[in-house]
Amino acid sequence: EIVLTQSPGTLSLSPGERATLSCRASQSVSSSYLAWYQQKPGQAPRLLIYGASSRATGIPDRFSGSGSGTDFTLTISRLEPEDFAVYYCQQYGSSPRVTFGQGTRLEIK
């Protein structure tokens, strides 16, 4: 099973700043089958990025994903107040065994 490790655990930034979230896999993720989700308290997760770098429908272009192999990054170019949430990465390249990272909490500084 591929283990995903997200860093940092908590990221404290101010609106308008740039956020860089990391997701490292214990083995190479085939075909860049890596997704990113945003989750706010009491809500279901929301798909942001799939295939490592493709934005999901309706996702603003301030969100971007990059990376391949074992190292992936989610970048939020300029933080808006509504972006403060928990972010999870997910790999589905080693299906049938899909796994999630433990999450990064993005909080207002």
Partner 1 sequence: QVQLVQSGAEVKKPGASVKVSCKASGYTFTSYGISWVRQAPGQGLEWMGWISAYNGNTNYAQKLQGRVTMTTDTSTSTAYMELRSLRSDDTAVYYCARDPGRYSGSSGDYWGQGTLVTVSS
56 touches partner 1 by CB under 8 A? yes
Give the number of other Cβ atoms within 10 Å of residue 6's Cβ: 22
- Amino acid identity, residue 23? C
101 touches partner 1 by CB under 8 A? yes
Q: Which of 47, 53, 55, 64 binds partner 1 (CB under 8 A)?
A: 47
Give the integer Cα–Cα distance in Å for 37 and 44. Answer: 10
98 touches partner 1 by CB under 8 A? yes
2 touches partner 1 by CB under 8 A? no
Name the segment binding partner 1 (CB under 8 A); options: 7-15, 17-25, 30-38, 72-80. 30-38
61 touches partner 1 by CB under 8 A? no
Name the segment binding partner 1 (CB under 8 A); options: 14-22, 64-72, 76-84, 93-101. 93-101
- Strands 10-13 and 104-108 come out as parallel
Q: Which residues bind partner 1 (CB under 8 A)?
A: 1, 33, 35, 37, 39, 44-47, 50, 56-57, 88, 90, 92, 95-103
